[in-house]
Amino acid sequence: MQKKSSKKQFEFVALMASLMSIVALTIDALLPAISHIGEAINSVDPTRNQLLITMIFLGLGVGQLFFGPLSDSYGRKPIVYAGFTIFALASVICVNATSLEVMIVGRIFQGVGLSAPRTITISIIRDLYKGDYMAKIMSFVTAFFILIPVIAPAVGKAVLDNYNWQAIFYVQLLFALIVSIWFWKRQEETLKPEFKIPFTRSVFVDGLKEFVKHKETVAFTLISGLITGAFLVYLSSAQHIFEDQFNLVEEFPYIFAGLAISIGSATFLNGTLVLRFGMRKLIFLSLCAFCSIGLLYVILFWGDANPSLPVLIVFLAAQFFCLGFIWGNSRSVAMEPIGHIAGVGAAINGFVATVVSIPIATLIGSYIDTTVLPLFLGLAVCGSLSLFIFMSIKKTRTAALA
């Protein structure tokens, strides 16, 4: 299945990216509207309103635990349809929310619904590809996926300026409908009948036992969680940083888009370099750079106010460029040994990464009030822990191969 015509492979990459990008649209298009939503639901504390971003990740993590094993039993496509249905119902809750608590419930269930296409995308790719070539496909999928964070805040702001914040949810629903029809029409079922696992109570337990047998899978899942948590701090606080700390309300969507391009360009470049240098080497070099950039910022601006906007953007862009080489490769390494349980394996991988990332984002995000220093401190600490895990598993792997 590794070889496909260029035209079919391009459509496959675009379709998988579209399935994943609904998550980005659901998160990023709402960023310019957070303060407006806060006013509408009587929640004016910007640090509490960050929960509108972080809590969707809770739903993403929990939902994967159900949809991953179910997809190994009933196939990939039916589970994607079920996820879209839950997402649609949750969007209705969000539109009609009158308090922060109700809105958070809606956002959590949006995450639960979207965990299906997000997780099943990884399973489908693993069904068809493996090794460094899987990492290449993942890189191109992620590069396409990054197009949505680039334009989503601008789309959200345009909708907000011309209509209201509720209309942003309707735009998300329309996009989800279009993608689901495309998926229904063009994507074949990738789970072969002979590989279906009867759904029993032991499916997840057996999958977890198999998952923890592979030390690299566990290690790179933790790395994904730490790095995602560090990035989630930025994602949940970006609106507060640029609109409140820097007073850049109109410019915020464009700054956000520019920084997203940094991740996308690195991810696209990774698709070319990974077959030459391998996933692990690229992860190692990127983690070293990721840690160094975060530590340099902390050293230069410890105890000071925010630097000028250009300086901040340069540091963030450099950090995010590193992310483009870490994310896809880490998940590909984690999934490499567990292709025979791709559904439940992707679910556990995503759940553990989410469980690790949400507390990190919530804790560090609560300190981002008047300066972005806590953000970079969090990036440096998470990067350092990830590098330590990488070096530990590298020694273990080298010893096993000796």
Candidate from 74-78, 184-188, 302-306, 382-386 with smallest mean pLDDT: 302-306
Tens digits of per-residue pLDDT, 286-342?
A: 999 999 999 999 999 998 889 999 999 999 999 999 998 998 789 888 888 887 777
Q: What is the pLDDT of residue 205?
A: 82
Q: Nearest CA to 74 among 202, 210, 200?
A: 200
Between CA 153 and CA 156 the distance in angstroms is: 5
Between CA 401 and CA 33 the distance in angstroms is: 53
Q: What is the pLDDT of residue 134?
A: 78
Token digits of residue 240: 């507060």
CA distances from 97 to 31, 40, 83, 89, 172 (A): 17, 9, 21, 13, 17
pLDDT of 4 over the 60 cut: no
Token digits of residue 140: 């191109």
Q: What is the pLDDT of residue 398?
A: 65
Contact 123, 71 (CB under 8 A): yes
DSSP 272-329: HHHHHH-HHHHHHHHHHHHHHHHHHHHHHHTTS----HHHHHHHHHHHHHHHHHHHHH
| Most confident range, picked from 110-114, 191-195, 207-211 | 110-114
Query: Region 357-376: what's the mean pLDDT?
Result: 89
Tens digits of per-residue pLDDT, 111-169?
A: 999 999 988 998 898 888 877 777 778 777 876 777 788 889 999 999 999 999 999 99
Contact 32, 151 (CB under 8 A): no
Q: What is the pLDDT of residue 394?
A: 83
Contact 145, 137 (CB under 8 A): no
Q: What is the pLDDT of residue 5?
A: 63
Residue 49: CB atoms within 10 A of its CB come to 20
pLDDT of 2 over the 70 cut: no
pLDDT classification of 260: cutoffs 50, 70, 90 = confident
Token digits of residue 9: 């492979």
Q: Which amino acid is at 212?
A: V
Token digits of residue 25: 């649209």
Tens digits of per-residue pLDDT, 368-378?
A: 888 999 999 99
Q: Percentage of residues in the chain with pLDDT exceeding 90? A: 50
Q: What is the pLDDT of residue 345?
A: 80
pLDDT classification of 50: cutoffs 50, 70, 90 = confident
Query: Region 30-47: what's the mean pLDDT?
Result: 90
All residues at 6 or more sequence positions from 192 whose CB lies less than 8 Å from its CB, including other chains: none
Between CA 197 and CA 192 the distance in angstroms is: 11
pLDDT classification of 274: cutoffs 50, 70, 90 = confident
Q: What is the pLDDT of residue 283?
A: 94
Candidate from 4-8, 166-170, 184-188 with smallest mean pLDDT: 4-8
Residues of 119-134 as b/e, b for ≥16 C-beta within 10 angstroms?
bbbbbbbbbbbbbbeb
Token digits of residue 136: 């290449």
Contact 153, 259 (CB under 8 A): no
3-state secondary structure of 51: helix
pLDDT of 270 over the 90 cut: no
Q: What is the pLDDT of residue 399?
A: 61
DSSP state, 246?
Answer: S
Q: What is the pLDDT of residue 389?
A: 95
Q: Nearest CA to 378 among 368, 387, 369?
A: 368
pTM: 0.79
Q: Percentage of residues in the chain with pLDDT exceeding 70? A: 97
Query: Region 201-211: what's the mean pLDDT?
Result: 82
All residues at 6 or more sequence positions from 212 whose CB lies less than 8 Å from its CB, including other chains: 218
Q: What is the pLDDT of residue 1?
A: 47
